[in-house]
Amino acid sequence: MLVYVLARNGTLFDYIHHVNGKKALSWHILLKIASESAAALAYLHSAAETSKPMIIHGNVNSSNILLSDCFVAKVFGFGSSRLVRVPSNESQMNTLVQQTVGYLDPEYLQTEQNDIFQIVVPQLVNEGNREQLRAVAELAKSCLKLSSAERPAMEEVARELRRLCGRAAHILPKLVHADNY
């Protein structure tokens, strides 16, 4: 039996690309969605700390993040996910998981251009907290390190995004419902 959550707001992709007239989301809602998505992935990865195999999603992208009525993020699209026993070395892990590079400008990856405000949508620069934008950009950059030893664990990513959301709590509308996961 498969059970699905009704996600009336569609996917994050719809809002990024204005599908069916969807408007861009505010910085605070996007930060909330990132935090909830990271928490869901951290939960899937948490089995790595036990004797059970971890779940590697394998295709995390904006099309695979559903948004509920109150913009609660739901990670789905597990068609390419794998149950993986944590290998003893990094090279084994690299051969097990081959993911899509994602939504980053190749020039940014090559030059490591540090002016985040030149590549972020102007609406987010205008409404967002510059310190938060920089922190999220640095976190994203740390997640792109080639060596897994240099990348933060998903639990660390989720914790940092949760912290950033907490700092924005006075601005963020009360959109969290009990249907988080």
Position 90: which residue type?
A: E
Q: Which of 20-34, 88-102, 111-125 has the lowest mean pLDDT?
A: 88-102
pLDDT band at 169 (very low <50, low <70, confident <90, very high): low
Phi, psi of 153 (to 5 degrees): -70, 155
Report which secondary-structure segment, H or E, holds 74: strand 73-75
Q: Give per-residue pLDDT as tens, 8-44.
A: 999 999 999 999 899 999 999 999 999 999 998 888 7
Q: Between 76 and 151, name the one with better pLDDT.
A: 151
Q: Give per-residue pLDDT as tens, 42-61.
A: 887 775 555 566 666 667 88
Task: Give, in degrees to the nearest 5, the angle at Cα 137 between 122 and 38.
Answer: 110
Report which secondary-structure segment, H or E, holds 32: helix 27-45
* pLDDT at position 10: 93
CATH of domain 12-167: 1.10.510.10
Distance (Å, rounded) from C-alpha 117 to C-alpha 122? 8
β-bridge mates for residue 83, sequence order: 55
Q: Give per-residue pLDDT as tens, 129-143.
A: 889 999 999 999 999
At 5 the three-state DSSP class reads coil
Q: Which of 3-12, 68-77, 113-122 has the lowest mean pLDDT?
A: 113-122
What is this structure's pTM? 0.72
What Rg do the C-alpha atoms of the chain give, in angstroms?
17
Contact in structure between 109 and 85 (CB atoms under 8 Å): no
